[in-house]
Structure formats: C-alpha cells, structure tokens
Amino acid sequence: MAAVTRRLLLGSVGLAVLGGAAYGASRVVCRFVPRNHPDFFSLLELAPDGEASRRVGEALLSQSDMSLDLPRLASSLAGRPFTRAAMGETCPTSRAALVKDQCALDFAEGRIVMVDGWLLSETEAALCAGRLLCGATA
Amino acid sequence: MISDLRTGGAPAEIEGEVCVVGTGPAGMTIALELARKGRRVVLLEGGGDAYEDDTQDLYRGEVVGHRNIDVANSRLRQFGGTSGHWTGLCAPLDALDFEPREGLGGFGWPIRRADLDPFYARAQGYLDLGPYRYDWEDWRRIVPLPALPLDPSRVITDVFQQSPPTRFAEKYHGAVEAEPRIDCWLHANLTDVRLAEGSNAVSSLSVSTLEGHVATVRAKTFVLACGGIENARILLNARAQRPAGIGNEHGLVGRYYTDHMTIEATTVLLADSVDARLYSESQIYDGAELQFGLRLTPELTKRERLTTNSAFLVPQHANEIYSTDYRNHGWIAFSSMVKAFSRGHMPDRLAEHYCDAVDDLGSVATGVFRQVARRVAPPEAAHVFKLRQDAEQAPNPDSRVYLIDAKDRFGQNRIALDWRVSADDLLRLRRTHELIGQAIGAAGLGRVQLGIAETPDLDMAFSGYHHMGTTRMHSDPRRGVVDANCRVHSVENLYIGGSSVFTTGGCANPTLTIVALAIRLAERLAATA
Ligand SMILES: Cc1cc2nc3c(=O)[nH]c(=O)nc-3n(C[C@H](O)[C@H](O)[C@H](O)COP(=O)(O)OP(=O)(O)OC[C@H]3O[C@@H](n4cnc5c(N)ncnc54)[C@H](O)[C@@H]3O)c2cc1C
C-alpha cells in the first residue's frame, strides 16, 4: 500500500513536472506562432449597459435573417478593418476611437440598421446585440 | 398714377399698350419694368390700398383634397397682393429644377437656370436682398462659422437670403403713383377676358367694382398676374367664347397644382464637439441676411430619383426661453412696429398692427421676456435639431384647382382646391433624410432619427402657401398652358406672370423666381409688344 502510494506520488510529481515543462515549452513556442485572436469582449464594454442599448441589440437580433450568436458577431466584427484593430488594442481610448471610425465607415458604405427610426451603424448595433447575448449567457 | 375705379367720373374705357392685372410681386414688377422701358401700362388691381372684407371674400373657395391648406387667408386681394403677408425667405431654383427628371414624369422647364440668372440678379434688388450669391462657396470666406464637414459629393450647405420682407404696397406705392406711364386702377376686378371675333387674340378685358361700375380695358398685350390660384380661375371662368375656358384646349388649366410641403420632422443629434451655429440662426454679412440649410447634391438627387429639398436645422433647446411658440400675428405686428420705430419711421398699417398686438398681448409679453432672457442668460449651444423644410412634390395632374357651382358677387364661379399630397412625396423626403443621416453618421458628427414612417402620415404636410403649377410652362401645348415666354400657347397676346407658370416647384420659396420671371417677361414685352 505504502509502495503504491510512493509510486503514485512520484508518478504524479513526474507528470506534473512534465506537464509543466510541456506547458512552459508550448507557451514559449506559441509566442512565435502568428495568430489572430481578437479580444471581442473588450469591445462590448463600449456599448452602454442601458435600456436603449438593449432595444438596439434586440432589434438587430430580430432583424437579422440568420441567427446571430456571439461567435458570429465576433467574427463579423473581426472582419471589419477598424473593429479588428480595436480588438487588438489595449488602450481603451484608442479602442473607442477605432470603433467610432468603423461606425463612420459603416455609414459611408451603407451598412446601416434602423431602430425606432434611428439610423445606426451595423457595428454599434452589433455591439449592443453582443452585450445583450453576453448578459443572456452569463 | 394711381386712381380708383370707385370714384365718380371713372371712365368706361381705359387704354394702354400693355395691360397688367394684379399688383403683387409679379404684376407690380412687370408694370414698373415696362414703364421704365417707355411702355404705357394699364395696371389693374381688384382690391384697394388696404384690406377690405368684401374684396377679400372674392377669394373664398373650397378645400376638397389635403386639408392642411387654405385658399382665402393665404392670399391678399389688395394693392401689393400677398406680399402683404409673405415672410421673405428667398432662393433661386436650382439648375436641376429646370431639367427633366426621371421619376417626376420627365417634366422639365423649357428654359434653363442660366436663362434666368441675369434676371435673378436684378430681382434681388426688388426684394431688398443682398448680392446674387447662393453658393456656400461664395460665402465661406466671409462667414466666419464652419459648415458641417459632410461628404461634399453627397450633402452640401445650401444658402437662402431673407427679405425684410419687402411689402410691395409700401415700397412701390410711391413709384407707381409717380410714374406717368403707369395708369393704375384700384377696385378694378377683372371679370372677363374677350377675344377678338374670329381670332386668337385678346381684344379687351372687362373690369368691375363691387358697386357695379364697369369698364373695358383695351391694349395690345395683356398679362394676368393674379396669383397661382386666381390666374387659373380667371382662365377657367372665361367661357363666353371658349367653352372650356381660355388656354384650356388640353384640359390643363388648374391642373398640376403643386405646393411646398412644409414639414418639421426628423431629429438630428450632434456630438457636443460639433459646431452647428451656422445653421442655428440667421447670419448677416455683406448686406444680406443669410440662412443655411442642408441639401443633397444634384447628382445624388438625380441618381436616387428624388425631389429637391433643403432642410433647415431648427434647434431644440431644453430651456423654454429659446422656444418661439409666441410668434403669431400679434408678435409679428409688434416686432414690425418696433423695427419701424427704431429706424425712425412711422410703421405702415399702424392701426392694424397695433390692434393685432393688443389682441395677442400675452404672446407679445412672452416674446419680449424671452428675447431679453436670451440676451442675459449664458448662451446655450443646441445639439439636438429638427429638420424643417418646404419640400418639393412630384407634379401630379390630379392635384388641381377647378370651378365649383358657388359664385362670387360678380357671378364668377368660385374654385375648389384639391391639393394632393402622396405617400410617394413623403417617402422621397424620408429617403432624403436617410441620406442626410447617412452622411452625418459617416462624418462621425452624430445620429439621425427619421421622423417620417415607412407608411407616412400625410397629415404631417402643411401648405407652404406657395401656389404653383396651374398654368405650367412647357414647350408642348399638350403638356403646358404657357410657352417658354410665359405666353398662353393658344392666345397670341396673353401672358401669365407668377408661380402658376412653374413647371416644377423645386424647394426654393417662389417669390424670387416670380420676380425674375416678371423682369424677363417685361424685357420681352418691351422689345416686342
Ligand atoms: C403667410 C405667407 C408666407 C409666405 N412666405 C413666403 C416666403 O417666405 N418666401 C416666398 O418666396 N414666398 C412666400 N409666400 C408666397 C408669396 O406671398 C407669393 O409667392 C407672392 O405674393 C406671389 O406674388 P404674385 O404677384 O404672383 O401674387 P399675389 O401676391 O397674390 O398678387 C396677386 C394680385 O392680383 C390681384 N388680383 C387677383 N385677382 C384679381 C382680379 N380678378 N382682378 C384684379 N386683380 C386681381 C390681387 O389683389 C393681388 O394684388 C408666402 C405667402 C404667405 C401667404
């Protein structure tokens, strides 16, 4: 029983060391692997947490022909130049400015949604919808 | 010289080279221009020097179509015509307004804006306006406020000028009185237009006072300048020799009535950092009082098959001192008296103005309080605006003026006004607002909430009191009543002055164009009549 316990202990430690080494090595190696891992959730903070924002979100979700979920929203925002840059931006002010630029570009390119008569850019509506979906899944 | 047909000894026969009927901006301008060019003019006016109930009653009629309009109070039958009422906002029609436009029945004017430019320039003086400059580019170096930085290929800043407003009765009474070549008759109501037997030329007009003094007026050339509704009514009533009315061979007289749809709808919310002062209040530079609005470029208007529109930004202040709901007849009368006194003049129509102000003392007191409060309160820049406009309608033959059985004291049939406002008219305006909203969003300036629903509420449109189109200009007699020279197609010597000749309404208030066309017509008649 004692032998089993010692072996088990040594094995576990060995596994943990190996696992740790593998994890450490992976982290080191992964640094050199180019990846696109935009921070979608940080953008959602830009949508105000209020009744208006909720209505905009609901309107977009109900108007959209395909069912929108968080991954779809994230990938659609990642597909737009300024929101893609915003997802990789850590400074909140620069992030907000990039999102504003994306909204302006949406308007210029006619990507507009209408909620209660308000003409809104698809990006701002998507952020409101994202916030709503996040709230629902939380 | 001004005489009154009601006075004893008034003649039964009056003669001149050119006879002009109506002393509003159209008729008065034509008469003055012709006289300056040495022509002898008989100028006929149905009303007197001042307002008279029984004369004004001749304008009564029925409203049978869209209700937000009126046919009697929106016109003045007296010396100076409706210029006694007008508020003075002016702009020329845009070059696009003259062109045939797809989606608007393909109607275009048989003249171009360039044909009118020299006359517009001269019309400015008649209406006490500044220089003939209506492009923002002409003013941007002079006016020290920025225009909204919108994509110039889509939305531009539009310029209007404000007339004092010129009251033709006050301003030109002396000139008409002193002009020996003008023989002006008051209380001379036109009651019939007579064609020479077997010809297509007018030989004489019958005129009458309400008291029954009748006279015949002979001239070589005749001009009707009785306003956008009355010009059609007179032609339709002249049935003694032409059963359908004079000039009405193709059933067009009275049709295509168009007005500006006065609408305040759609909210613009601008970011706090945006400077919109240029659009919030009128600016005075270079002797001109200017007002600025937003409009789509002609190219975009054409591409989208829209009617034209110029939208003014009306500031929405939370503070009540900025509200202008006190502006009614009383306030307008009071402020015109104050303006006259401050210039050291006696106000015109003092008794009328005084009584209007007394009747509305509450509004006058509110107005005075708010005007003072605005000067002492810290300035408040507005960031929320409503779009206010006099929007164009598409020409519509079913929108019209026609005769009804009821008669006036001269036995002339009164009219019904069937003004049509269509959902399509409002949907075009909605699309215009959408495009403005898109440009505001694209410039990162703010957001727009459309105030016109997808199924529009037609009741939101009010008449601009701009009566147009009832004797429209077209080179083809089957599509218009007058030709490019404002001559009735089927009558050799009968011309029309005023906005009834407008082929399309555009979005500029009509009087500047009326006066420009009047000068142009006078020039032609002086050369040919
Ligand atoms: C409240 C209001 C505000 C306005 N504001 C503006 C504005 O800001 N800008 C703008 O451009 N326009 C404005 N207008 C419109 C403007 O007043 C008219 O465009 C202008 O007065 C038309 O001029 P006119 O000479 O064609 O017709 P009118 O001014 O109507 O003159 C017609 C003349 O014909 C006479 N007459 C009529 N019938 C007969 C007859 N049978 N015999 C003899 N004489 C006759 C009348 O007595 C009158 O003198 C406004 C109108 C109103 C009512």
pLDDT in tens, B162-182: 999 999 999 999 999 999 999
Considering only residues 28 to 87 of chain A, which have any Cβ-Cβ distance to chain B shorter than 8 Å? none
Both structure tokens of B136:
């923002």
B9-41 pLDDT tens trace: 889 999 999 999 999 999 999 999 999 999 999
CA dist A99 and A110 (Å) reads 16
Going by pLDDT thresholds of 50, 70 and 90, the confidence category of residue A34 is low
CA dist B81 and B510 (Å) reads 14
The answer to whether the Cβ–Cβ distance between A100 and B444 falls below 8 Å is yes
**pLDDT at residue B375 in the model:** 83
B208 lines ligand 1 (CB under 6 A): no
Going by pLDDT thresholds of 50, 70 and 90, the confidence category of residue B528 is confident
Which of B243, B250, B235 has the alpha carbon at shortest distance from B401? B235
The rounded Å distance from CA B123 to ligand 1 centre is: 16
The answer to whether the Cβ–Cβ distance between A118 and B448 falls below 8 Å is yes
**pLDDT at residue A1 in the model:** 55
**pLDDT at residue B505 in the model:** 97
Among B33-47, B95-109, B431-445, whose mean pLDDT is lowest?
B95-109
> CB of B18 within 8 A of CB of B34?
yes
The answer to whether the Cβ–Cβ distance between B441 and A118 falls below 8 Å is no
Per residue, what are the HEC states of B304-355?
CCCCCCCEEEEECCCCHHHCCCCCCHHHHHHHHHHHHHHCCCCCCCHHHHHH
B483-503 pLDDT tens trace: 999 999 999 999 999 999 999
CA dist B421 and B148 (Å) reads 32
Mean pLDDT of B338-354: 81
**Nearest atom, ligand 1, residue B508 CA:** 11
**pLDDT at residue A138 in the model:** 46
Interface test with B, best of A119, A121, A128 (most B CBs within 10 A): A119
Both structure tokens of A92:
């909140």
The answer to whether the Cβ–Cβ distance between A104 and B443 falls below 8 Å is yes
The answer to whether the Cβ–Cβ distance between B449 and A120 falls below 8 Å is no
With a cut of 60, say whether residue A38 has pLDDT above it. Answer: no
Of chain B, the percentage scoring pLDDT greater than 90 comes to 85
Going by pLDDT thresholds of 50, 70 and 90, the confidence category of residue B268 is very high
Report DSSP state, residue B148: P
With a cut of 70, say whether residue B130 has pLDDT above it. Answer: yes
Chain A touched by B304 (CB under 8 Å): no
Could you say which of B151, B434, B444 has the minimum Cβ distance to residue A119? B434
Could you say which of B438, B451, B453 has the minimum Cβ distance to residue A107? B438
Going by pLDDT thresholds of 50, 70 and 90, the confidence category of residue B458 is very high
The rounded Å distance from CA B45 to ligand 1 centre is: 12
Interface test with A, best of B150, B438, B450 (most A CBs within 10 A): B438
Mean pLDDT of chain B: 95
A55-89 pLDDT tens trace: 888 888 888 766 678 888 888 888 999 998 988 88
Chain A touched by B154 (CB under 8 Å): no
Query: Which ipTM was obtained for this model?
Result: 0.85
**pLDDT at residue A37 in the model:** 53
**Helix residue ranges, H only, B11-99:** 25-36, 53-56, 95-98
Question: What is the SS3 assignment for B486?
Answer: coil
Both structure tokens of B67:
């209700």
H helix and E strand count, chain B: 14, 22
Could you say which of A108, A110, A119 has the minimum Cβ distance to residue B447? A119
* Complete DSSP assignment for chain A: -HHHHHHHHHHHHHHHHHHHHHHHHHHHHHTTS------HHHHHTTS--SHHHHHHHHHHHHH-SSPP-HHHHHHHHHTSHHHHHHHT---HHHHHHHHHHHHHHHHHTT-EEEETTEEEEHHHHHHHHHHHHHHHH-
Amino acid at B402: Y
> CB of B470 within 8 A of CB of B253?
yes
B466 lines ligand 1 (CB under 6 A): yes
Mean pLDDT of B276-289: 94
Nearest CA in chain A to B438: A107
Q: Where are the domains of chain A?
A: 1-35, 40-137
Residue with tokens 């002010």: A93
**pLDDT at residue B326 in the model:** 85
The correct CATH number of B1-124+167-258+468-529 out of 3.20.20.150, 3.50.50.60, 3.40.50.1820, 3.40.50.720 is: 3.50.50.60
Among B60-74, B146-160, B323-337, whose mean pLDDT is lowest?
B323-337
**Nearest atom, ligand 1, residue B89 CA:** 8
> CB of B403 within 8 A of CB of B415?
yes
Mean pLDDT of B191-214: 96
Q: Closest residue (by CA) to atom 16 of ligand 1?
A: B86
Taking chain B, what is the end-to-end CA distance rounded to the nearest angstrom? 22
> CB of B226 within 8 A of CB of B234?
yes
**pLDDT at residue B472 in the model:** 97
B363-419 pLDDT tens trace: 999 999 988 888 888 777 888 999 999 999 999 999 999 999 999 999 999 999 999
Going by pLDDT thresholds of 50, 70 and 90, the confidence category of residue A136 is low
> CB of B421 within 8 A of CB of B393?
yes
Between strands A112-115 and A118-121, the pairing is antiparallel
Which of B296, B291, B314, B304 has the alpha carbon at shortest distance from B150? B296
CA dist B109 and B92 (Å) reads 14
Distances (CA, A) of A8 to A2, A20, B192, B505: 10, 18, 121, 94
> Rounded to the nearest 5°, which phi and psi values hold at B24?
-75, -170
Both structure tokens of B412:
């002339």
**Nearest atom, ligand 1, residue B467 CA:** 19
**pLDDT at residue A58 in the model:** 87
